[in-house]
């Protein structure tokens, strides 16, 4: 099979938050400013299906969501794709001790809302799992 029949798809960022307008806006801003695809989901179960594809580079998830919170989603991520790093975003003050972080090796950092897109972009680049992280696009 040639590569034109089965092209290598770039790794993507997945954003999960139950606030639809937030995820759509954040995904649009990152898609406009990064050289990697960004997808948004409002239900963790839908994000888990996308994670199963194996094309995910970094997961960005909110903490407080109905049905499954961000920590539960990260635990599921660790089972399905242990090499994928996760960034937890929250509007609440959360503190994780060393023991909690040790039990969640996929969780790399907690980012408090509100935050600027550039801060998140820098973290995505920092925690990208291979030597080919996305770049921030130059303004045209």
Task: Indicate the pTM of the whole model.
Answer: 0.90
- Residue 5 vs residue 40, higher pLDDT: 40
110 touches 93 (CB < 8 A): no
Residue 11 confidence (pLDDT): 93
| Mean pLDDT to the nearest integer, 19-47 | 97
* pLDDT of 8: 63
Full residue range of the structural domain in which residue 19 is found = 12-127
User: Does a structural domain hold residue 1?
Assistant: no
Averaged pLDDT score across all residues of the chain: 91
Distance, in Å, from the CA atom of 29 to the CA atom of 125, rounded to the nearest integer, reads 15
Residue 45 lies in a domain: yes
Residue pLDDT, tens place only, 8-22: 667 999 999 999 999
134 occurs within a structural domain: no
Long-range contacts of 23-28 (CB under 8 A, 24+ apart): 26/117, 26/120
Q: 3 pLDDT exceeds 50?
A: no
- For the cut 60, the answer to whether the pLDDT of residue 55 exceeds it is yes
Residue 3 included in any domain: no
pLDDT, tens only, 70-106 = 999 999 999 999 999 999 999 988 777 777 788 899 9
Number of domains in the chain: 1
Looking up residue 62, the CATH number of its domain turns out to be: 3.40.50.2300
């Amino acid at each position: 099979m040639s590569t034109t029949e089965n092209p290598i798809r770039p790794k993507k960022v997945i954003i999960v938050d139950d606030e639809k307008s937030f995820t759509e806006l954040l995904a649009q801003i990152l898609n406009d400013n990064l050289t990697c695809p960004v997808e948004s989901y409002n239900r963790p179960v839908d994000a888990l299906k996308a994670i199963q594809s194996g094309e995910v580079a970094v997961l960005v998830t909110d903490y407080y969501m109905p049905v499954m919170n961000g920590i539960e989603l990260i635990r599921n991520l660790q089972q399905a794709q242990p090499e994928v790093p996760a960034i937890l975003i929250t509007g609440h003050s959360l503190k994780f001790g060393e023991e909690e972080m040790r039990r969640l090796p996929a969780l790399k950092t907690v980012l408090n809302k509100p935050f600027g897109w550039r801060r998140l972009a820098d973290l995505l680049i920092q925690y990208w799992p291979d030597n080919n992280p996305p770049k921030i696009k130059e303004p045209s």
